[in-house]
Chains A and B, each alone.
Chain A
Amino acid sequence: MNADVYLSILTGTVVSATPLIYAALGELVVERAGVLNLGVEGMMIVGALAAFAVGVASGSLMVGYLAAIGASMLLALLFAVLTVTLQANQVATGLALTLFGLGLSAFAGRRFAGLPIEGIGALPLPWLRDLPVVGPLLFRFDAAVYGSIALYVLVDWVLSRTRVGLLLRAVGESPAIAHALGQPVTQTRYLAVLFGGAASGVGGAYLSTALTPMWVEGMSAGRGWIALALVVFATWKPLRILMGAYLFGGVTILQLHAQGLGLHIPSEILSMLPYAATIMVLVVICRDPKIILLNQPASLGRSFHPDA
């Protein structure tokens, strides 16, 4: 064991947490508006394919990321039309979105399997990256990693310090009262769902352009669902999303390094760790019903129709 191994564990933790941060922060905003979108997995995988396909075709990852945002927002719009306007059951529609996204990406992605792509590179931060210790630890990541921190700061600030955040939380707690006060409930929910779609798209794009720069069918491997669990784990608070995502990133990376650390556990058993850890943290958080009751947006998962 030497410093390089520790360094690669720490930086690997940050990198594998990044897609979870995007997807979970997006879903957090959606749920704070009172909407439960179980389609995160579907939006992520479509984002992953869109970023990869457009990135390869255009030669620009920037364009690829924009395509991912656009594609995932389209799926989110579909979800919003069905659940917010047409009052469809949010659980069933979210499941439909996930199944549709997985099917669509498997169908459309066949041509892109096995193609190479130039992964997203580290952000050139001259001087900073050459600092001792903190240079390799903090200043050699790609732009999307710094973007995920920036997104956290933005979401936390908007939710807790701005009028928009207040409106969003009011709509999530009591759409009927917000509506009675003349606030635009439907528009707020639409925008929240679209924001969630965009964030999931970036999270998905990160999978196919940075974490493992290639396209593989079903490559999201349950990360959308882990992001949903993170929102519960975080008791709907942005800072805890960040902490939870790094915890999960750490579990994922330790599993990859376990063999090197001298642990002789079969790889299949180690690969179960992130999923088992998800179940365990959910149990720890949920076992006290009061914690959930106090923190969960009161109208979560319930449709609201202004005329009803």
Chain B
Amino acid sequence: MPELPWRLEKRASPSRIMRVSAPVIAVLAMVATGFVLFALMGKDPVNALDLFFIQPLNTPYGWGELLLKATPLALCALGLAVSFRANVWNIGAEGQLTLGAICGGGVALFWGPQLGALALPATLLAGIVGGAAWAAIPALLRTRFNTSEILVSLMLVYIAQLLLAYLLHGAWRDPEGFNFPQSKAFDDALILPLIMQGQRATIAFPLMLGLAGLSWVFSSRLFVGYRMRVSGDAPAAAAYAGFSETRSVWLALLIGGGAAGLAGICEVAGPIGRLQSDISPGYGFAAIIVAIVGRLQPAGILLAALLMSLLYLGGESVQLGLQLPAAVTGLFQGLLLFYLLAADLFVGFRLRRVADPAVLPA
């Protein structure tokens, strides 16, 4: 390989400045790429970026949409962050979200009227239990049969989506719904109240903020959170200290699944108002990016979720305004994660100029 005048050199200790600034650099690089991309597509890039990042937030309704879409993203990502910190790679949040919607939706549809005032809490609880139960499958298979939680949790996404489609084409279909694959609308009493009139964000948002606080306490103040972090960072040390890996894997997946399940039921018992076949534009997958870009920390995750939510709004905005495909959202999401992973290099390494590469040992 040709010698370059620059060399990567390991830092004595990871740079704290870079740890904080890498996500900012990644966002700037993403916006710059967007500028080039829009220009290449023959649009005025300044106008397009304005339409993508600024216009969606010009109205109170837009801010409501921002909080609305940030809520499931942050909920899933908070749960995933607990997992990732324990080095448990749950990538099936999308499936756990779907099961949360199915279980919570089942309670709302079939027992809603009988439960009276308890109906809404029972619906939310069923959502959490459904998501956690779906995540219990990879937990059981990993701890009992040594099977990769990455592949199992991902396969379960497809199975969950097919299960939802099966229910909506059969037993749960609204008989008066003109054969659309959707359930009856939930009772009004089972829909989460709005934060404010004139927008669509529900009380799921403050609920999520409370859980973000709880997750900080769990990870930074409780011994169980500490044990899970050690299991993730240094499995050998954790084993030596007698921390159970099995317990850590189970907790990581149950918490991640429960949070994703809550996100799912808050969507169907919120802005959607019924079960239907498309309940999420990939929130569970985008949450992986939110968790990593947010540095697995609650505050970072909240910011990253707002940004990711804005990417969804921006995609819709340029679709309406410039007839660009809304799928530009997915492209930006992927780019953001790539740029972050690249920028992260400089947390542990730095570039050093080499006067004469030839004298360096190879």
Which A positions have Cβ atoms within 8 angstroms of B?
Answer: 38, 78, 82, 86-89, 91-93, 95-96, 99-104, 106-107, 110, 186-187, 217, 221-222, 225, 228-229, 232, 266, 268-269, 271-272, 275-276, 278-279, 282-283, 286-289, 292, 305, 307-308
Tell me whether B327 and A103 are in contact (CB under 8 A). yes
Residues in chain A near residue B338, CB distance under 8 A: 78, 82, 96, 100
The reply to whether B155 and A279 contact each other, CB–CB distance below 8 Å, is yes
User: What is the CA–CA distance of A148 and B50 in the complex, to the nearest angstrom?
Assistant: 48
Known: A99-B288, A110-B327, A282-B147. A88 touches B342 (CB 8 A): yes
Q: How far, in angstroms, from A87 to B169 measured CA to CA in the complex?
A: 47
Q: Are B162 and A272 in contact (CB under 8 A)?
A: yes
Contact of B328 with A107 in the complex, beta carbons under 8 Å:
yes
Contacts of B288 in A (CB 8 A): 95, 99
Q: Distance (Å) between the CB of B157 and the closest chain A CB?
A: 8
Minimum CB–CB distance for A285 against chain B, Å = 8
A87 touches B150 (CB 8 A): no
B240 contacts A by Cβ under 8 Å: no
CB contacts (< 8 Å) of A87 on chain B: these are 345, 348-349
**Chain B residue at minimum C-beta to C-beta distance from A224:** B154
Partner of B151 from A78, A93, A232 at Cβ < 8 Å: A232
- Is the Cβ of B327 less than 8 Å from the Cβ of A96? no
A272 to chain B minimum Cβ distance, whole angstroms, is: 5
Given contacts A99-B288, A279-B155, A282-B151, contact A86 B342 (CB under 8 A): yes
Closest to B291 in A: A92
Please, could you name 6 A-B residue pairs with CB atoms under 8 Å apart, sorted by A?
A87-B349, A103-B332, A186-B1, A266-B169, A278-B151, A278-B155
- Which residues of chain A have C-beta atoms less than 8 A from B154's C-beta? 222, 225
**How does the 8 Å CB contact mask read for B145-161 relative to A, with 1 for contact and 0 for none?**
11110111011101100
In the complex, A214 Cα to B147 Cα: how many Å?
35
What is the distance, in angstroms, from B225's C-beta to the closest C-beta of chain A? 21
CA distance A88 to B346 in the complex (A): 11
Q: CB < 8 Å: which of A82, A103, A221, A275 contacts B329?
A: A103
Residue pair A96, B158 in contact (C-beta under 8 Å): no
